[in-house]
C-alpha cells in the first residue's frame, strides 16, 4: 500500500490504515457477524443506560486542546486569583499532553501547533516550570524554529499583550464602535457567527483599553531574535482583499489616536450592556468558555470588581468547565454538550431496541422538553417575526439555540412514547416551525443563524483562527431534511429545496463535506440517511456514488477513519485515517440506509465494531472526530464513541428506526418495526 505524507510534519500514514484498537481480535467477516452484533449491542446498551444522570441527561467530556487550560491560567493570573492548587492541577494535564518533540498539537496525532505550544509553555511557566527544564527547552527551541511569538496567531498574541509580552500596537485594531453598526452594514457584529460575535464584542473593549499587567517573567526564549521581537509584517497587494483589509486596519490604528473619548466610552458601555444582557442564568455566556473568559476580562477593565454579581457568576461558570481527573489533573472543556449527547443517546438506545416507553427514555424526554428555548435570541435579528422553539447544545444557552440540536431532539422525541403526548406534540411543533423559519435563501441550513455568509469577516487581520461565519452545511441540512421527512413534510417545497441543495453539494467522488464532524465520512454518514428518509431510493445515482466512495475508503481492518488533515489536504486525507468507532458507525449508517446490509463492507464494519468493543460495552477512541472550526479547533466528544456505534449496530439488527405518533385517537407506532 502506497503511503502518503503530510508535508507539514513529515508524518506518513497509509491511505487505508490497517491499525485497529489494541482491544481488537480477528472476527471472520462472513461468520457469526449477526451474533457478534447482538452481543455488542446488549453490552453497549447496558453501558450507555448506566451513564445517564439522575435528572435524565447524558454528557460525555468534551476534549479540545491545551489552549483552554493555558488561557484559564492566564485569566486567573491577570485577575490576580491564580492559586497554587489550580496551577498544579492544570500543569499536570498540560504536561501530560506534550509530545516527544516538545510541542503540543491541536488534536490527537496531529502536527505540533505553534500557538498551542506557546500558550502551553506560558501556562507551565506560570505553574513554576523552569525554562531550562528539558521539556521546556525542547518546546522553546521548536517555537523559535517556527518563527517565534511573532508567527503565532492573533489570539495568542492578545493573551501575551495582557502581560506586556507583546505590543498592543502590533495587533490588529478592533474598535468598540463596531457595536453600533446596523445589521445591514458590512462587518456589523451579526455578520459574524454567534461564537465569534460573543468573543469579538468583549474583545473590542480589551482592544480599546490595551491593559498590561506586570509579567512575572520574561519570554525572550520564545523570540527568534530577542533584540527585534516585533518584526514588520509585509503588506499584501493593494488590489487584493487581504491588502485592502490590512490598510483598513492601519486606518483604524490612526483613528484610535483621534477617536473622541466620550464616543469611545459610550461605545464601550454599549458593548458592556450587550455582554451583560447575554449572560445566561448560570453565569456563562453562550455555554462556551472563550466568550466567558473575554467577557470577564472586558467587564473587569470597565470597573466591575470580582464580587459584582455578574463577575462572581461568570467566574463560577468557568469553574464548571473544569474536569478533574483521577490522577489529580484538571482539564478545561471549551463547552459542554448535554442536549446533543442526550438526544443522540436516546436515538441510539431506541434504535438498538430499547422500548419506546422505557423509564430512562421517558426521563430523558422529560429533561429535553424542559430544555426547549421559548424566548427570542440573537437569531431573531434576522428573523424578527419567527416564534422561538429551538434547542441549544448546552445546559444554559437561551440566546443561541441551534438548528442541528433542534432537528436531532425532534428525532429523539419521536422515538419515545411519553405519558404526556400533547406536551410532546406542542414542543415538536414549535421546533419544526423554528427550524423551517431558519432556512437560508439557498435552501439549506447553517448551525445558528440565517444567511450568515458575508465574505468579509474572514478577511479581517484579526480573524486568523478558524471560521468566524456560519454558512449552511451539508451535515446540518441533512439532519433538518431527515427530521422534516419524519414529520411528514417530504413534499413541502422547503424540504425539496433542502434536498436539491444537498444533491448539488455532493463531491465528485461521491462524498459530502462535513462541517461539524470529521469530515467527508461524517458528511456522507449524515446525508445518505436523510436523502433515503426523504424518499430517494437506494438506486438513486447520488446514493450509489456515495456507497462506492465509502467502500473505496474502508480500511483493511474493516473500519473507517478520517484524519483532520482532510480539511487541508483533501486528496490525500479524505476518508483516510485510523479506524475509529464513531467514524465506522457513520459509514455504516449511510450504507445501511442505502440498502447495503448484506454487503461485505457492512459486515466488515460491524465485525470491526464488535471486535474492538471493550468488555464493559464501551469503545476506546483517542482520535478527534468532531470540529468546532475545521482543522483549527478540533473536538473529541467522549460520548460519540458510544452513541454512534450503538446506533449503527441497532439499525443493522433491527432495520430503520421506528417513530411514535400521537394522533387524536391515541398513540400509535409507525415505522419499519415496532418496539
Which tens digits make up the pLDDT trace of 631-664? 889 999 999 999 999 999 999 999 988 899 866 4
Write the DSSP string, 146-175.
Answer: TT-GGGS-HHHHHHHHTTTSS-GGGS----
Structural domain contains residue 310: yes
Which tens digits make up the pLDDT trace of 66-101? 999 999 999 999 999 999 999 999 999 999 999 999
Say whether pLDDT at 669 is over 80. Answer: no
Confidence grade of residue 225 (pLDDT, cut at 50, 70, 90):
confident
CA dihedral 368, 374, 377, 379 (to 10 degrees): 80
What percentage of the chain has pLDDT greater than the value 70? 93
Structural domain contains residue 622: no
Say whether pLDDT at 9 is over 80. Answer: no
CA of 547: how far to CAs of 321, 539, 553, in Å? Answer: 40, 10, 10
Contact by Cβ (8 Å): 521, 586: yes
Indicate the pTM of the whole model. Answer: 0.93
All three cell numbers of 506, joined, read 455532493
The mean-pLDDT minimum among 15-19, 139-143, 387-391, 502-506 falls in 15-19
pLDDT of residue 249: 78
Structural domain contains residue 101: yes
Query: Cα separation of 672 and 659, whole Å?
Result: 9
How many structural domains does the chain have? 1
Residues 6+ apart with CB under 8 A from 385: none
Residues 6+ apart with CB under 8 A from 296: 75, 79, 311, 314, 315, 318
All three cell numbers of 37, joined, read 452484533
Say whether pLDDT at 246 is over 70. Answer: yes
Structural domain contains residue 510: no
Write the DSSP string, 543-587.
Answer: HHHHHHHHHHT--TTS-----GGGGT-HHHHTT-SS--HHHHHHH
Which tens digits make up the pLDDT trace of 144-201? 999 999 999 999 999 999 999 999 999 999 999 999 999 999 999 999 999 999 999 9
CA dihedral 193, 197, 198, 199 (to 10 degrees): 110
Say whether pLDDT at 538 is over 50. Answer: yes
The whole-angstrom distance between residue 460's C-alpha and the CA centroid of its chain comes to: 22
**Active-site positions?**
404
Structural domain contains residue 617: no
Structural domain contains residue 574: no
Contact by Cβ (8 Å): 121, 143: yes
Structural domain contains residue 227: no
Confidence grade of residue 31 (pLDDT, cut at 50, 70, 90):
low
Contact by Cβ (8 Å): 322, 330: yes
Residue 288's domain spans which residues? 63-217+235-332
Structural domain contains residue 111: yes
Identify the CATH number of the domain in which residue 295 sits. Answer: 1.50.10.20
Query: Cα separation of 85 and 68, whole Å?
Result: 17
Which tens digits make up the pLDDT trace of 555-608? 999 999 999 999 987 678 999 999 999 999 999 999 999 999 999 999 999 999
The mean-pLDDT minimum among 160-174, 314-328, 460-474, 514-528 falls in 460-474
CA of 508: how far to CAs of 483, 503, 572, in Å? Answer: 26, 11, 15
Give the full edge-to-edge strand order of the sheet including 633-637: 62-63, 633-637, 626-629
The whole-angstrom distance between residue 451's C-alpha and the CA centroid of its chain comes to: 20
pLDDT of residue 670: 37
Which tens digits make up the pLDDT trace of 276-326? 999 999 999 999 998 999 999 999 999 999 999 999 999 999 999 999 999
Amino acid at each position: 500500500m502506497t503511503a502518503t505524507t503530510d508535508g507539514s510534519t513529515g508524518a506518513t500514514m497509509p491511505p487505508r490504515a490497517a491499525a485497529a484498537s489494541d482491544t481488537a481480535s480477528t472476527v471472520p467477516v462472513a461468520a457469526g457477524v449477526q451474533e457478534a452484533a447482538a452481543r455488542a449491542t446488549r453490552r453497549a446498551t447496558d453501558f450507555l443506560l448506566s451513564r445517564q444522570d439522575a435528572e435524565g441527561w447524558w454528557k460525555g467530556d468534551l476534549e479540545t486542546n491545551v489552549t483552554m487550560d493555558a488561557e484559564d491560567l492566564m485569566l486567573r493570573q491577570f485577575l490576580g486569583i491564580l492559586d497554587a492548587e489550580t496551577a498544579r492541577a492544570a500543569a499536570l494535564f498540560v504536561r501530560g499532553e506534550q509530545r516527544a518533540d516538545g510541542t503540543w498539537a491541536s488534536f490527537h496525532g496531529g502536527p505540533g501547533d505553534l500557538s498551542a505550544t506557546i500558550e502551553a509553555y506560558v501556562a507551565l511557566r506560570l505553574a513554576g516550570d523552569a525554562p531550562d527544564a528539558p521539556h521546556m527547552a525542547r518546546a522553546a527551541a521548536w517555537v523559535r524554529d517556527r518563527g517565534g511569538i511573532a508567527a503565532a496567531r492573533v489570539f495568542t498574541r492578545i493573551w501575551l499583550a495582557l502581560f506586556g509580552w507583546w505590543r498592543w500596537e502590533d495587533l490588529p485594531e478592533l474598535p468598540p464602535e463596531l457595536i453600533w453598526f446596523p445589521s445591514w452594514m458590512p462587518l456589523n457584529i451579526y455578520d459574524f457567527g454567534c461564537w465569534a460575535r460573543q468573543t469579538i464584542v468583549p474583545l473590542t473593549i480589551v482592544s480599546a483599553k490595551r491593559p498590561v499587567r506586570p509579567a512575572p517573567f520574561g519570554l525572550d526564549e520564545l523570540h527568534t531574535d530577542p533584540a527585534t521581537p516585533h518584526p514588520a509584517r509585509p503588506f499584501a497587494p493593494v488590489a487584493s482583499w487581504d491588502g485592502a483589509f490590512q490598510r483598513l486596519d492601519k486606518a483604524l490604528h490612526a483613528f484610535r489616536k483621534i477617536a473622541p473619548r466620550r464616543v469611545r466610552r459610550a461605545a464601550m458601555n454599549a458593548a458592556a450592556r450587550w455582554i451583560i444582557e447575554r449572560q445566561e442564568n448560570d453565569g456563562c455566556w453562550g455555554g462556551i468558555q472563550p466568550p466567558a473568559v473575554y467577557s470577564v476580562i472586558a467587564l473587569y477593565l470597565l470597573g466591575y470588581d470580582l464580587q459584582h454579581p455578574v463577575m462572581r457568576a461568570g467566574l463560577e461558570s468557568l469553574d464548571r468547565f473544569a474536569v478533574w481527573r483521577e490522577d489529580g489533573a484538571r482539564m478545561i472543556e471549551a463547552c459542554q454538550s448535554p442536549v446533543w449527547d442526550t438526544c443522540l443517546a436516546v436515538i441510539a438506545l431506541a434504535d438498538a431496541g430499547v422500548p419506546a416507553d422505557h423509564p430512562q427514555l421517558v426521563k430523558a424526554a422529560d429533561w429535553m422538553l424542559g430544555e426547549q428555548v421559548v424566548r427570542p435570541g440573537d437569531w431573531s435579528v434576522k428573523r424578527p417575526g419567527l416564534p422561538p422553539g429551538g434547542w441549544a447544545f448546552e445546559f444554559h444557552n437561551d440566546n443561541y439555540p441551534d438548528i442541528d440540536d433542534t432537528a436531532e431532539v425532534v428525532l429523539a422525541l419521536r422515538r419515545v412514547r411519553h405519558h404526556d403526548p400533547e406536551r410532546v406534540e406542542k414542543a415538536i411543533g414549535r421546533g419544526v416551525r423554528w427550524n423551517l423559519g431558519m432556512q437560508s435563501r439557498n435552501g439549506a441550513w447553517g448551525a445558528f443563524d440565517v444567511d450568515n455568509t458575508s465574505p468579509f469577516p474572514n478577511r479581517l487581520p484579526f480573524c486568523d483562527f478558524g471560521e468566524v461565519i456560519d454558512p449552511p452545511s451539508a451535515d446540518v441540512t441533512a439532519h433538518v431534511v431527515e427530521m422534516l421527512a419524519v414529520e411528514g413534510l417530504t413534499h413541502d417545497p422547503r424540504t425539496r429545496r433542502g434536498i436539491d441543495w444537498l444533491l448539488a453539494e455532493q463531491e465528485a467522488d461521491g462524498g459530502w463535506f462535513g462541517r461539524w464532524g470529521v469530515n467527508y465520512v461524517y458528511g456522507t454518514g449524515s446525508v445518505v440517511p436523510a436523502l433515503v428518509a426523504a424518499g430517494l431510493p437506494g438506486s438513486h445515482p447520488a446514493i450509489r456514488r456515495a456507497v462506492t466512495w465509502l467502500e473505496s475508503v474502508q480500511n483493511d481492518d474493516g473500519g473507517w477513519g478520517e484524519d483532520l488533515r482532510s480539511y487541508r489536504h483533501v486528496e490525500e486525507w479524505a476518508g483516510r485515517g485510523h479506524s475509529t468507532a464513531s467514524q465506522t458507525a457513520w459509514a455504516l449508517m449511510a450504507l445501511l440506509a442505502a440498502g447495503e446490509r448484506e454487503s461485505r463492507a457492512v459486515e466488515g464494519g460491524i465485525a470491526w465494531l464488535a471486535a474492538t468493543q471493550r468488555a464493559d460495552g464501551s469503545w476506546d477512541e483517542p482520535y478527534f472526530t468532531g470540529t468546532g472550526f475545521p482543522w483549527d479547533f478540533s473536538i473529541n466528544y467522549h460520548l460519540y464513541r458510544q452513541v454512534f456505534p450503538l446506533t449503527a449496530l441497532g439499525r443493522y439488527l433491527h432495520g430503520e428506526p421506528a417513530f411514535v405518533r400521537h394522533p387524536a385517537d391515541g398513540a400509535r407506532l409507525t415505522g419499519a418495526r415496532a418496539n
